[in-house]
Chains A and B, each alone.
Chain A
Amino acid sequence: MHKKMAFSFPDEVLEHVFSFIQSDKDRNSVSMVCKSWYEIERYCRRKVFVGNCYAVSPRMVIRRFPEFRSIELKGKPHFADFNLVPDGWGGYVFPWIAEMAGALPWLEEIKLKRMVVTDESLELIAKSFKNFKVLVLSSCEGFSTDGLAAIAATCKNLKELDLRDCEGDDLGWHWLSYFPDTYTSLVSLNISCLGSDEVSFSALERLVGRCTNLRTLRLNRAVPLDKIANILRHAPQLVEFGTGSYTADLRPDIYSDLAGAFSSCKELKSLSGFWDVVPAYLPAIYPVCSKLTSLNLSYATLQSSDLIKLVSHCPNLQRLLVLDYIEDSGLEALASICNDLQELRVFPSDPFGVEPNVSLTEQGLVAVSSGCPKLQSVLYFCRQMSNEALVTIAKNRPNFTRFRLCIIEPTTADYLTLEPLDVGFGAIVQYCKDLQRLSLSGLLTDRVFEYIGTYAKKLEMLSIAFAGDGDLGLHHVLSGCESLRKLEIRDCPFGDKALLANAEKLETMRSLWMSSCAVSFGACKLLGQKMPRLNVEVIDERGPPDSRPESCPVDKLYIYRTLVGPRFDMPPFVWTMEDDPSLQQLSRANLM
């Protein structure tokens, strides 16, 4: 029975209304209106997002949302991508699968990022969820093609299998034959991270041939060029395609085969792959270029002239990933041709070289910022930068939402004035009022952090390396950036004071990573004691932090808010600072 209130609706009506509300933020707001809305909302929430798998326990999530069909989980901190998080740190998905297996038999979607996914986990997924549809593993590791075979063999309704940027053990292609002959529901397959030489094209071709709803197919480097035509002919309806190794001896029959196959793909919008690319085969894709909105050439070792030729056929590009072989001249061409460009990533072809191997400077970025009015998201590796360029870029493109600049040599100054790049990055945060993500590099003092704290009010994620003078810098960021959720710092002289003074701020954020900084073990302990709702993890492969003086800086520090206290799956080189020192010993010896 409902309370007799004006404007009260039966539950079913509210549920129906809520079903139009998809975003987590909105759903969370809805659930806070009143108790009955909380109750109704939690039963009808179908998608759950957990940004840090250690912030909450699977049991708690299932208890609150007993009917969800889709879960997205994230594990390791972002710096794990660059090998800063030692192997074995954590992020195991198995406990989550185990809990969901019993309670949520109708689970359809699992999306994981930076987690350890064992074959055992994959087998359990296959066994437990009868209507399983979508598996997206992004930057995950720990599995092999044996686990994938289990998924293929058992999940009759599988629609998506996406292994983007994963590190799985490829033991051969026979796992593809585990998809039964009756299986036809595949819509998206991304195996670009696998790479065994033991290929079985017939299994792949048959699979592609019978799955007429296939929209996305990303192959890997093991698939040779001469196999592509056949595969494309089986799937002319593809919208997204990733080639394998794009190289072969120059033969007219292979070329015409390939060109013909591409021409028949009228729906293609996105291309990727192009490992080992031979320029002579590029024109084969020209027929589809005018419709392309996304092009990933980040493995294509093409020279600038070939890249310009290719890009000039793609005026509708919205997203481009490319190596710095494109050079300033290529970016200038891009700026004049691709007026719809929204996202650009330029990767370094020679990240460890001391001297520049290509003519790619700040000018390329200036050109693109000037010529592409919709450009919002940039990742740019280069070797020189100036404040002048950054100010120009900022004024050109106040609509940036993501700006990640990596000047390859740490602490590189403005090459024109030899000053720090504080003013340049200051302009970025001042003009780009909607900036959500920022990565800094180059020579930077505390001043840049003052700018960031003052202007970057919408900033959610900040990455800092080799920057700043002292605690004041960190204090500016923690006290000024109201929307900050993720902060990752390496090799900066930030110490105890700023951290302890802003302890409460840490509870409003998802996480803070600090490595090779100046935070002492004593401060970590203090923080752990003061803030029970934070896990303060000291990661130190040199040995137990209490075997050194308290004033000694810790090697790595990972702090995150959590509802469930210290985790129990820590490896020997991770310690969680706790309220009660005696509890510390207890949780480490906790044998499960």
Chain B
Amino acid sequence: MANMLGTELCLGLPGGGGGNEVDSSPRTTGKRGFSDTVDLKLNLRAKETDMDLNKNLDNGSEEKPVSAKDPAKPPAKAQMVGWPPVRSYRKNFMANKSTGEESEKASSVAFVKVSMDGAPYLRKVDLKMYKSYQELSDALAKMFSSFTMSNYGSQGMIDFMNESKLMDLLNSSDYVPSYEDKDGDWMLVGDVPWQMFVDSCKRLRIMKGLEAIGLAPRAMEKCKSRA
């Protein structure tokens, strides 16, 4: 089932170049031009993701999966999905206890909702699972590429675009990630260092490039007031 869409999903920091975060803190450079913020391209490269996966899986298929004799340690405590089996609201609560001393301890989960314009349902991601904008971007690409890979419909999701309409749309505009911050403002993703983003992001929305242009002036304004 070949993937016909050549669009790519990646987050770039303003000023282009795939995003590693902390060193080149954009805030220290003060105001940024409009063109810089719009440089945040969000392209869906489902094809490439597929190929990488196939490579990994071909290597993995002969190996025996986890056995008791070779217990697989989870990579890092916070990384293992669904373990320990504690519900998200409980995890979030424990992470965000609001007393003075507790705020010293790094909160270990940060679940936020992610919506994508045109997608029929929301996803949830734990921002603490990622260490950079690039990692987040890759994860979002995997999650949302599935929407563009096949044509489907179901009860209640009547407005979902059909394949040809979808292709036209994607060809004509890129997708741009935006987020709602602590103040309730919608900002473009990538305007602050990664850790600051994780702490202030309340929810994510992947919107069409054309719509995101409307956010740019406010993003600039906010940066101005911060600098």
Residues of chain A whose beta carbon lies under 8 Å from any beta carbon of chain B = 79, 81-84, 86-88, 92, 94-95, 116, 118, 165, 167, 193, 275-276, 298-299, 301, 347-354, 381, 406, 408, 410-411, 420, 439, 443-445, 463, 465-470, 490-493, 516-518, 541-544, 546-549, 551-553, 568-573, 588-592
Contact = CB atoms under 8 A, between A and B. Distances in A.
B-side binding surface: helix, strand, loop or mixed? loop
B82 A87 contact: no
A569 B155 contact: yes
Contact of B155 (A95, A465, A518, A588): A95
B113 to A, nearest CB: 9
Nearest to A245: B98
A569 B142 contact: no
A444 B68 contact: yes
A118 B120 CA distance: 12
Contacts of B88: 83
Given A493-B65, A547-B54, A572 B147 contact: yes
Contacts of B57: 542, 548-549, 552
B71 to A, nearest CB: 4
A349 B149 contact: no
Contacts of B67: 469-470, 493
Interface in B1-23: 1
Contact of B68 (A87, A276, A381, A420): A420
Given A410-B74, A570-B152, 7 more contacts: A79-B82, A87-B123, A444-B68, A466-B72, A547-B1, A571-B121, A592-B158
B156 A92 contact: yes
A259 B109 CA distance: 36
Interface stretch (B89-97, B189-197, B211-219): B89-97
A81 B94 contact: no
Given A87-B124, A543-B149, A443 B71 contact: yes
A87 B94 CA distance: 23
Contacts of B91: 351
B66 A493 contact: yes
24 contacts: A82-B83, A82-B87, A276-B99, A298-B90, A347-B90, A349-B94, A351-B108, A381-B84, A381-B86, A411-B71, A439-B85, A443-B68, A466-B71, A491-B72, A493-B68, A516-B65, A543-B146, A548-B57, A551-B61, A552-B57, A571-B152, A588-B152, A589-B151, A592-B154
Given A82-B87, A165-B89, A571-B121, A94 B68 contact: no
- List of 7 A-B pairs having minimum Cβ-Cβ separation, nearest first: A82-B82, A591-B153, A411-B71, A569-B154, A88-B121, A352-B77, A352-B108
Interface string B101-145: 000000011000000000011111010000000000000001100
A465 B83 contact: yes
B227 interface: no
Given A568-B154, A572-B147, A591-B153, A87 B122 contact: yes
A350 B94 contact: yes
B84 A94 contact: no
B124 A82 contact: no
A410 B61 CA distance: 24
A439 B85 CA distance: 11
Contact of A82 (B54, B86, B143, B157): B86
B177 to A, nearest CB: 17
B105 to A, nearest CB: 8
A467 B50 CA distance: 31
Given A544-B1, A548-B57, A81 B87 contact: yes
Contacts of A276: 97-99
B68 A351 contact: no
B226 interface: no
A83 B81 contact: yes
Contacts of A492: 66
A83 B89 contact: no
Contacts of B150: 572, 588
Given A351-B94, A445-B68, A87 B152 contact: no
A301 B101 CA distance: 13
B156 A95 contact: yes
A116 B120 CA distance: 13
B85 A406 contact: yes
A492 B68 CA distance: 8
Given A443-B68, A466-B71, A547-B1, A590 B85 contact: no
Contact of A466 (B53, B66, B142): B66
B143 A81 contact: no
Contacts of A572: 146-147, 149-150, 152
A108 B58 CA distance: 55
Given A167-B89, A493-B65, A547-B1, A570 B154 contact: yes
A353 B77 contact: yes
Contacts of A86: 123
Contacts of B165: none
Interface centre among A83, A299, A347 (most CB of B within 10 A): A83
B155 to A, nearest CB: 5
B144 to A, nearest CB: 10
A352 B91 CA distance: 9
Given A469-B68, A549-B61, A92 B155 contact: yes
A351 B156 contact: no
A357 to B, nearest CB: 10
A94 B153 contact: no
Contacts of A88: 120-121, 123
Nearest to B93: A299
Interface centre among A81, A352, A353, A518 (most CB of B within 10 A): A352
A493 B143 CA distance: 26
A34 to B, nearest CB: 38
A592 B97 CA distance: 45
A529 B147 CA distance: 28
B210 interface: no
Contacts of A95: 155-156
Contacts of A589: 151-152
Contacts of A465: 83, 85
Contacts of A165: 87, 89
Contacts of B64: 493, 518
Contacts of B109: 352
A543 B74 CA distance: 24
A82 B85 contact: yes
A409 B151 CA distance: 42
Contacts of A551: 61
A410 B94 contact: no
B207 to A, nearest CB: 18
Nearest to B162: A591
Contacts of A410: 71, 73-74, 83
